[in-house]
Amino acid sequence: MSMAAPALTAIAAIEKSPGYWAGVMRRFRRDPVAMAALIIVLALVLMAIFAPFVAPADPYRSSMIRRLRPIGTPGFPLGTDELGRDMLSRLIHGARLSLLMGVTPVFIAFFVGSAIGITAGFVGGKVNTVLMRTIDVFFAFPSVLLAIALSGALGAGIFNGLLSLTIVFVPPIARIAESVTTAVRKIEYIEAARASGASAFRIVRIHVLGNVIGPIFVYATGLISVSLILASGLSFLGLGVKPPEPEWGLMLNTLRNAIYVQPWVAALPGLMIFITSISFNLLSDGLRSAMDIKA
Amino acid sequence: MTMPLVEMKDVTVRFHGARTVHAVNGVNLALMPGETLSILGESGSGKSVTLKTLLRLLPENRTEIGGEVRVAGTDVLSLDGRALANHRGGVVSMIFQDPMLALDPVYTIGDQIAEAVMRHEGISRQAGLARALDMLTRVRIPSPERRMKAYPHEMSGGMRQRAMIALALACRPKLLLADEPTTALDATVQIQILLLLRELQREFGMAMIFVTHDIGVAVEVSDRIAVMYAGEFVETGTVQQIIREPRHPYTKGLLAANLHGAVKGERLDAIPGAPPALETRPVACSFAPRCPVRAESCETGRPPVATFDPGRMVRCIHAVEPAMAAG
């Protein structure tokens, strides 16, 4: 599964059959939409990491005399918010918390949900019934409502927001993991592995995990966009990040009174959420088609 | 006289669940090292179940296995944990019908073989890969170095089956089980695989049990044939005996149901009816409902087992009248 692309000479490329991941990379690179999405996501991540160096101004410094300046104001290319803070700097710094709130819950839920789903799918029987029916209870609530209820119960704050979003994303991932594992478990190579003396743990670690982790991962990347929106929603409702931290959902909330004065400025955080969310979605779609061997 | 490698004594397999299925009803079998036996029968006759019993591959919680199964002196039914893992793949190995499904799609052929060898023999990855290359050469895969890094979907059906044979034989098993290994292949590739299996069997000195519904395949590879019907052997004997003087009406029916001598426009000689459902253990001759020469006693009691010499057995009241032709 190595991707030793730099060392590959033309002759070696002919002789060596390309590996699975090399094939995925090749197909992904040919997909212009997915590549564009990847570049945007990478740019957003870099922007978040290097926010203090990229941002032209201090995102917390407010000024009563230059509140709600329009886009294009000299010194404030994207205007200022209701407290006179530089919008560009706040949007750049906002990427940090927004991405963190969007990606972390899905990341944690990916591990927890996969563990639950693969266990249920591989062991089957009563274990499956108990685990999956418990998971089904969570599906009784709409995800937005569940996130709001959990955050409300736990109290506002970044950590509680992350926790409640993680809980929201465990059930769908577990369900996908369970269905993929159940399908894989019945394929003959699992029996062939048993016939060659592999222990149950080894079969799960090597043959089940190897075959299910791709589809689960692709599904999870598709959840990032939902998570971003839910996280912003929680902040918008005052259940996530607290002021004065820059976060896109929270900015959308605090700027909503300015919608009649500076509609374009007020819409900017929403635009950022939109771009980020759709980029993750397109990235996920691209991954899905690139990882499909039969294609 | 050497000890038989495989000994099955009165083996019964029952599946419990929504309904009970008596899949195997009293199978007796002795196989010498280096010998090849074909189990011949139609779908649902219990061929594959008999095979999987030797590896204890049947789902533990729903399966009840009775009788005695010994391979190379070990009681297979009492094995567990480490000993069972060593038995599977180390002593007894299996190849499957469809190599596309039986090879893991996300690992290269070389990695899969190396993985199995590393696990069984505790050798390094380097040595495992060396063994994998050696095995691919032995199964005569063209340009084995390149195929080491190939994924199953990048190979042809025949090559995949060769790779699966390499995987099964990598740990030098004493017994190879083959569950219809050529059914999924083209006729031209089938014969290549059968010849390869025979050569490898001689080379490694292992015994083979071949499960098939194709008499041609059975004749091609085996020393002996056991004809299975409704979970029991109805006739066993050498290939010669089965082909030249079949004594059970079912065997005769199978031999008649081939395309040799078929006339265009006329129906083929098929055996009428279907096998029984096996929800209860048979109390009469299971074949009686489809039998052209049944007598009253066939439907009221179990047919007698006629044993002529070790390895030659017929489960039929007509066993002693070899000249009688099937309807």
β-bridge partners, B176: B93, B208
Span B47-69, average pLDDT: 89
Looking at chain A, which residue has its C-alpha nearest residue B95? A192
| Residue A41 main-chain phi, psi, to 5 deg | -60, -45
Rounded-to-integer distance, Cα B232 and Cα B305, Å:
12
- End-to-end CA, chain B: 42
A212 found inside a domain: yes
A22 found inside a domain: no
Q: What is the pLDDT of residue A178?
A: 94
What ipTM did this prediction achieve? 0.80
Q: What is the pLDDT of residue B107?
A: 87
| A211 in B contact zone (CB under 8 Å) | yes
pLDDT class of A39 with cuts at 50, 70, 90: very high
Rounded-to-integer distance, Cα A106 and Cα A225, Å:
10
* Residue A174 predicted with pLDDT over 90: yes
Rounded-to-integer distance, Cα A215 and Cα A284, Å:
11
Closest to A258 (Cα-Cα) out of A64, A70, A57, A60: A70
Q: What is the pLDDT of residue A206?
A: 87
Cβ distance of A189 and B107 shorter than 8 Å: no
| A210 in B contact zone (CB under 8 Å) | yes
Q: What is the pLDDT of residue A142?
A: 87
A260 found inside a domain: yes
Rounded-to-integer distance, Cα B166 and Cα B138, Å:
8
Cβ distance of A197 and B90 shorter than 8 Å: yes
Span B285-302, average pLDDT: 84
Q: What is the pLDDT of residue B261?
A: 61
| Residue B227 main-chain phi, psi, to 5 deg | -95, 125
| A256 in B contact zone (CB under 8 Å) | no
- Identity of the amino acid at A88: L
Closest to B317 (Cα-Cα) out of B287, B295, B289, B286: B295
Radius of gyration, alpha carbons of chain A: 23
The 8-class DSSP code of residue B20 comes to -
pLDDT class of B137 with cuts at 50, 70, 90: very high
CB B211 within 8 A of CB B127: no
- How much of chain B, in percent, has pLDDT values that exceed 90? 25
How near does any CA of chain B get to the CA of A194, in Å? 7
How near does any CA of chain A get to the CA of B151, in Å? 8
Closest to B53 (Cα-Cα) out of B82, B34, B35, B26: B26
Rounded-to-integer distance, Cα B31 and Cα B38, Å:
11
| A293 in B contact zone (CB under 8 Å) | yes
pLDDT class of A179 with cuts at 50, 70, 90: very high
Looking at chain B, which residue has its C-alpha nearest residue A202? B119
- Average pLDDT over chain B, rounded to whole? 86
Span B138-152, average pLDDT: 89
Q: Which residue has the higher pLDDT, B131 or A2?
A: B131
Cβ distance of B103 and A198 shorter than 8 Å: no
Which residue ranges form the domains of chain B, and what is each CATH number? 6-312 (3.40.50.300)
* Residue A114 predicted with pLDDT over 50: yes
What domain range includes position A141?
40-54+78-291
Axis-axis angle for helices B125-138, B157-169 (nearest 10): 130
Q: Does the global pTM surpass 0.80?
A: no
Taking one residue from A and the other from B, the number of pairs with CB-CB distance under 8 angstroms is: 80
Q: What is the pLDDT of residue A250?
A: 87
Looking at chain A, which residue has its C-alpha nearest residue B173? A196
Rounded-to-integer distance, Cα B47 and Cα B232, Å:
9
A33 found inside a domain: no
β-bridge partners, B237: B225
Rounded-to-integer distance, Cα A189 and Cα B42, Å:
24
Cβ distance of A195 and B115 shorter than 8 Å: no
- End-to-end CA, chain A: 19
- Burial-class residue A18 by CB neighbours within 10 Å (0-12, 13-18, 19+): middle
What tokens does B258 get?
């081939």
- CA B46 to each of CA A17, A77, A261: distance values in angstroms, whole numbers, following the listed order: 41, 78, 81
Looking at chain A, which residue has its C-alpha nearest residue B153? A293
* Residue A3 predicted with pLDDT over 70: no
In this predicted structure, which of A4-13, A58-67, B48-57 has the lowest mean pLDDT? A4-13
Q: What is the pLDDT of residue A182?
A: 92
Within 8 A of A214 by CB-CB distance, chain B residues are 106
Q: What is the pLDDT of residue A117?
A: 94
Rounded-to-integer distance, Cα A133 and Cα A127, Å:
10
* Residue B262 predicted with pLDDT over 70: no
Q: What is the pLDDT of residue A1?
A: 38
Residues 6+ apart with CB under 8 A from A238: A156, A253
pLDDT class of A10 with cuts at 50, 70, 90: very low
Cβ distance of B85 and A20 shorter than 8 Å: no
Rounded-to-integer distance, Cα A288 and Cα A27, Å:
11
Cβ distance of B103 and A189 shorter than 8 Å: yes
Cβ distance of A194 and B88 shorter than 8 Å: yes
A60 found inside a domain: no
Cβ distance of A211 and B104 shorter than 8 Å: yes
Rounded-to-integer distance, Cα B3 and Cα B325, Å:
38
Rounded-to-integer distance, Cα B203 and Cα B210, Å:
18
pLDDT class of A7 with cuts at 50, 70, 90: very low
pLDDT class of B266 with cuts at 50, 70, 90: low
Closest to A271 (Cα-Cα) out of A255, A260, A294, A295: A255
How many domains does chain A fold into? 1
Q: What is the pLDDT of residue A293?
A: 58
Residues 6+ apart with CB under 8 A from A263: none
Residues 6+ apart with CB under 8 A from A39: none
Cβ distance of A17 and B88 shorter than 8 Å: no
Q: What is the pLDDT of residue A214?
A: 86
Axis-axis angle for helices A209-236, A87-123 (nearest 10): 140
Q: Please name the member of B57, B107, B167 whose beta carbon is closest to the beta carbon of A194.
A: B57
Q: What is the pLDDT of residues A126-173, one digit of tens each?
A: 999 999 999 999 888 888 888 889 888 988 888 888 999 999 999 999
How near does any CA of chain A get to the CA of B250, in Å? 31
Closest to B94 (Cα-Cα) out of A22, A287, A196: A196
How near does any CA of chain B get to the CA of A212, in Å? 10
CATH number for the domain spanning A235: value is 1.10.3720.10
CB A208 within 8 A of CB A181: yes
How near does any CA of chain A get to the CA of B126, in Å? 16
How near does any CA of chain B get to the CA of A37, in Å? 27
Within 8 A of A187 by CB-CB distance, chain B residues are 101
Span B52-62, average pLDDT: 88
- Burial-class residue B251 by CB neighbours within 10 Å (0-12, 13-18, 19+): buried
| B167 in A contact zone (CB under 8 Å) | yes
Residues 6+ apart with CB under 8 A from A292: none
* Strands B92-95, B224-229: pairing kind: unpaired
| A292 in B contact zone (CB under 8 Å) | no
How many other CB atoms sit within 10 Å of the CB of residue A158?
18
* Residue B268 predicted with pLDDT over 80: no
A9 found inside a domain: no
Nearest 5 degrees, angle CA B262-CA B266-CA B271?
A: 75
Q: What is the pLDDT of residue B163?
A: 92
A123 found inside a domain: yes
Q: Please name the member of B89, B98, B153 whose beta carbon is closest to the beta carbon of A196.
A: B89
| Residue A120 main-chain phi, psi, to 5 deg | -60, -45
Span B156-178, average pLDDT: 91
* Residue B31 predicted with pLDDT over 60: yes
What tokens does A253 get?
């909330």
Q: What is the pLDDT of residues A185-217, one digit of tens each?
A: 888 889 888 888 888 888 998 889 888 988 898
A148 found inside a domain: yes
* Residue A12 predicted with pLDDT over 50: no
* Residue A15 predicted with pLDDT over 60: no
Residues 6+ apart with CB under 8 A from B269: B253, B256, B257
Rounded-to-integer distance, Cα B300 and Cα B290, Å:
15
- How much of chain B, in percent, has pLDDT values that exceed 70? 94
β-bridge partners, B9: B68
Q: What is the pLDDT of residue A175?
A: 94
Q: What is the pLDDT of residue B59?
A: 85
Cβ distance of B105 and A211 shorter than 8 Å: yes
CB B177 within 8 A of CB B54: yes
* Residue B181 predicted with pLDDT over 60: yes
Q: Please name the member of B85, B104, B146 whose beta carbon is closest to the beta carbon of A17.
A: B146
CB A273 within 8 A of CB A228: yes
- How much of chain A, in percent, has pLDDT values that exceed 70? 92
- CA B4 to each of CA B11, B107, B116, B314: distance values in angstroms, whole numbers, following the listed order: 16, 37, 27, 21
How near does any CA of chain A get to the CA of B153, in Å? 9
Looking at chain A, which residue has its C-alpha nearest residue B86? A197
| Residue B29 main-chain phi, psi, to 5 deg | -155, 135
Rounded-to-integer distance, Cα A59 and Cα A83, Å:
11
Q: What is the pLDDT of residue A37?
A: 93
